[in-house]
Chain A
Amino acid sequence: QSVLTQPPSASGTPGQRVTISCSGSSSNIGKNPVNWYQQLPGTAPKLLIYSSSQRPSGVPDRFSGSKSGTSASLAISGLQSEDEADFYCSTWDDSLDGFWVFGGGTKLTVL
Chain B
Amino acid sequence: EVQLVQSGAEVKKPGESLKISCKGSGYSFSTYWIGWVRQMPGKGLELMGIIYPGDSDTRYSPSFRGQVTISADKSITTAYLQWSSLKASDTAMYYCARQADYYDSNTYPLRAFDVWGQGTMVTVSS
- A residues within 8 Å of B by Cβ? 2, 33, 35, 37, 44-47, 50-51, 54, 56, 86, 88, 90, 92, 96-97, 99-105
Contacts and interface: CB of A to CB of B under 8 A. Distances in A.
Contacts of A37: 45, 113
Contacts of B25: none
Given A44-B95, A47-B112, A100-B35, A105 B106 contact: no
Give the secondary structure class of B's interface: strand
B73 interface: no
Given A44-B119, A100-B35, A103-B44, 5 more contacts: A35-B113, A51-B104, A51-B111, A88-B45, A99-B59
Interface residues of B, number: 25
Given A44-B117, A45-B116, A97-B59, A102 B109 contact: no
A33 B111 contact: yes
B62 to A, nearest CB: 8
Interface of B: 35, 37, 44-47, 50, 59, 61-62, 95, 97, 104, 106, 108-114, 116-119
